[in-house]
Amino acid sequence: MESIAVWQGAVLGGIVSWIVLASHLNLTQKLRSLLQPWVAHHVVTGTPTILQIQSFQHGFLDALFSGFSCVVSVPFYTAFLPLLFWSGHSKLARQMTLLIAFCDYTGNCVKDVVSAPRPTSPPVRRITATKDEEENAMEYGLPSSHTLNTVCLSGYLLHYVLTCTQYEDAYVKFVGISLACLFVALIGLGRIYLGMHSLVDVLGGLIIGLVILVFWLSVDECVDSFVVSGQNVTSFWAALSFLLLFAYPTPELPTPSFEYHTAFNGVALGIVSGIQQTYYQFHHDAVPHLFTPELTIPVLVGRMLVGIPTIVLVKFCSKGLSKWTLPVVSNTLGIPIKSTSYIPMLNGSVNGKNSDKLTHGGYLRKLFSQLDAFDVDTGIRFLQYAGLAWSVVDLVPSIFSHLSL
């Protein structure tokens, strides 16, 4: 028990030390001054390559690559991950959820540190077929998050399938790896064709994704063992999630990247806390899987019809409760707050240049400065997604149990 407390304290202490050191040494600005000119130069010089690829413009290709982009988008994760949990593949689902959160944090940190532009449009033709894509276009370019996430998720999914099925056939492995590589290539090519990224962005996403995938494959079993049977799991992960809201670089200009990180950070906490509480009831290895007599297609459809509205309702209630409680708690503790969107009456409490910086969490000054206000939207967003994720693995399976689904 003592050794567990020591390593958990060491991890949290290391993050706090990093926050202090990064803020004191102004590491973000120094790294940006080194990396941004190089990346921006390659974005500009890569424009002819983008235009050459876009010269094959066709309505079919527009629809194809827009569709591929949706496959690795936030709405897709929202539907796909609960489906994995409710179809009996809890281990795969929780590993992919944590991997997505890790990819999102790493990729968005790099984006906002470098703060490199996307390809200039025009002359590049940019296609944003969905609202999600329009928001993605507001982020910085390097790395391509779609490429990074595709490398990690397709690679891990392939590893999981081959491990569980214990295929030893070299031909099967070759086909699986080939399909994964083809999918990654199509996603990367699609990001360039749609005008969302330059070649350097896609290559950056590919390299960072491969590094993350190799790292995750070496620690996934340890992480999973800790989540399902470790000690102080919920309290440790809550502290970790809180610190990660501050261990995030301030971008050159405000973008939605920090909002995405906050959401996935909350999702990870909700999944971990829920799994920790209900693993032996709903998520152990012996639970029924899809296509078994205990879990047929009609049962899964029933689960989706009950589960999806429930998690949406929980998200709505979590957001409403957070909008009411966080301002009260902040005022009680004397913490100055503002809101950029969720609470209109708090809009504009901080003006000018400081307001832009505060939107993204910043560093240690947000914890201690009496002159700056904390954007309460960060806490609201974090809690609503934590509540949604918790309901996926705790509340909804409990409802399934009562309904014999």
User: H or E stretch including 387?
Assistant: helix 376-390
89 is catalytic: no
Q: Give the Å distances, CA to CA, from 92 to 5, 128, 157, 170, 181.
A: 28, 31, 8, 23, 20
Catalytic residue among 41, 89, 146, 283: 146
C-alpha atoms less than 13 angstroms from C-alpha of 291 in its C-beta half-sphere = 1
146 is catalytic: yes
Please provide residue 286's backbone torsions phi and psi, each rounded to the nearest 5 degrees.
-95, 5
Give the tokens for residue 255: 């973008």
Task: Output the CA torsion sign for 95, 96, 99, 100.
Answer: negative
Closest of 209, 231, 210, 212 to residue 220, by C-alpha: 212
Question: Rounded CA gap, 299 and 290, in Å?
Answer: 9
Say which DSSP state 298 is in: H
Say which DSSP state 115 is in: -
Q: Where are the alpha helices (DSSP H) in 194-232?
A: 199-229
User: H or E stretch including 164?
Assistant: helix 145-165
Catalytic residue among 89, 197, 261, 283: 197
Q: Helix 27-45 to helix 199-229 angle, to the nearest 10 degrees?
A: 140
Active site residues: 146, 197
